[in-house]
Chains A and B, each alone.
Chain A
Amino acid sequence: MTATTTGPTPTGPTPTGSATSGPATGCATGIDPAAQGLRENATFDRATIAAIRQAAQTGLYDIRGGGAKRRLPHFDDLLFLGASMSRYPLEGYRERCDTNVVIGQRFAKRPIQLDIPVTIAGMSFGSLSGQAKEALGRGASEVGTSTTTGDGGMTEEERGHSKTLVYQYLPSRYGMNPRHLRQADAIEVVLGQGAKPGGGGMLLGQKITERVAGMRTLPIGIDQRSACRHPDWTGPDDLRIKIAELREITDWEKPIYVKIGASRPYYDVALAIKAGADAIVLDGMQGGTAATQEVFIEHVGIPTLAAIPQAVDALQDAGLHREVQLIVSGGIRSGADVAKALALGADAVSIGTAALIALGDNDPALDAEYRKIGSAAGYYDDWQAGQDPAGITTQDPELSSRLDPVAAGHRLANLLRVMTMEAQIIARACGKAHLLRLEPEDLVALTIEAAAMARRPLAGTNWIPGEPSTPPSPPSSAPGQACP
């Protein structure tokens, strides 16, 4: 850690806080400065000015929730090529397009069977309220997919309401015990997160209540900064032994996932495969977090789009693509994102932020309450502060009791259904009878960056930056004349 450390910003963005990242428009007099010909500096924009002022005034750096806010090459920069003459589409609404996925058949006796390829990412009880964890379990179970614990152990709410529960095995090992390992349906060894590859967990004092502290064996109210490295293994050779230990203690039943934050995905995936993983969870830099330094979120890691092809390369080079499943997360919002991730070679995706929004995070109906704590609906990212008026990222019993786990769970189930149906719409248009049949060839890129990262041609060209241009070989005769 260098020059500064920070406390939580209990009231969210301060009045000196960013005008551009906050809801304010115009100036106090109501006249738009831009209309007067004033020009904002692109380098020193209002958010930057506010950040510099805040650092100078407080000596604190910013900690917040959510993922990278800057615009990054993403799934939006890809388009599907629907079928027409050269490809045969499937009848929308009528012809079958299956969505089920099996995860972990490489070594586990009991692989995970999912009805849809969208799962719920690991988010700890502690960062989230018990009600939120219950809602995630209910929503996922309603549509036949899995949920995941987080950096803080397994709760009864979560186990009880999740048909399929993945148990995270993290560097901190808070609350980790063999009983919970055996109660889980799969085990996820966490090496990192896309929001902070190389960083450990963080949970600020406001959320370390008696129950959270008890589960983690920590004093109440401290600012918890978890370890970033596992305490008893270092490289892939050690991890292999660790995975063998986890298999032995769970009778070789449960799939073992390895989760990595995207930074060097080719090598990390290759090493995770070598260490014996059944599945890889790959989280890109847009991936959400409950609490991390802003500088870490915005400046460390690579975008989800850039990470997937490298991970797929590693799986293919090992001859294990589709045998070791790839679960991708980081900025997945819709069925289009799901379809694009699968087409690039993922077997499933995970959602964190989108799931929280489905539960009620950033609800416009709560705008007045968000404003009271210095934010606004659509901007709220102080998930570290524990003051969430929606009752999701809090441990305050009054606030968390506002979240109805049954209704919120149902909203999540609705989102998961919509995402799946949207992905099916696209898959049928591409002529695919299963979501997993989507392939890179179905995609083109809208920008040069996306073309280079996703290794798909720029739309309307056959140009992939960095690869020799190979025009499609012209047909030997014009189509109409081909048949005698």
Chain B
Amino acid sequence: MKKTLSILVQNRPGVLSHVAGLITRRGYNVESIAAGPTENVKITRITLVAAGDEPVLDQIVKQVRKLVDVISVEVMDPESITGELAVVTVSAEGAKRGELINLINILGLTLTDVREDSLTVMAAGQALAVEMALTSLGPFGIKALARTGLVSLTRPTGRQAKEDAP
């Protein structure tokens, strides 16, 4: 199974080494790790997707929480807002090219580079949508791929507004 952890850390030099070092030395299985600033300049958010069975995931959470720089660890539930950005170069030769452009339009991906033999697009959005886009592009032949890894926020708890519900 997989868990997404949202980790708030003090923005000190070396903090990423502390987190990344922990993951490698304890042999944890991490699928992605993304770090970036938060609304507070002193705090960085690290989103980490880890795989393993329940006891292992439980250990990861506890060991991460134990790091001195770690302020909190949140285990994200499926309701959270989770997004990702992927940049992908896809083969686009011959007859398949038209089909690919069609797909890109349907999926609403951003075309960022056009070559005779390839197209590069950006897929950004909810994790599931990005995953789906990549799956659909797969058969065309993915030549290069860069992904940011997931970032995730808990859904705010305020009363939902009627007019522009997602």
Do chains A and B stick together as partners?
no
Q: Spell out A's residues near B (CB within 8 Å).
A: none
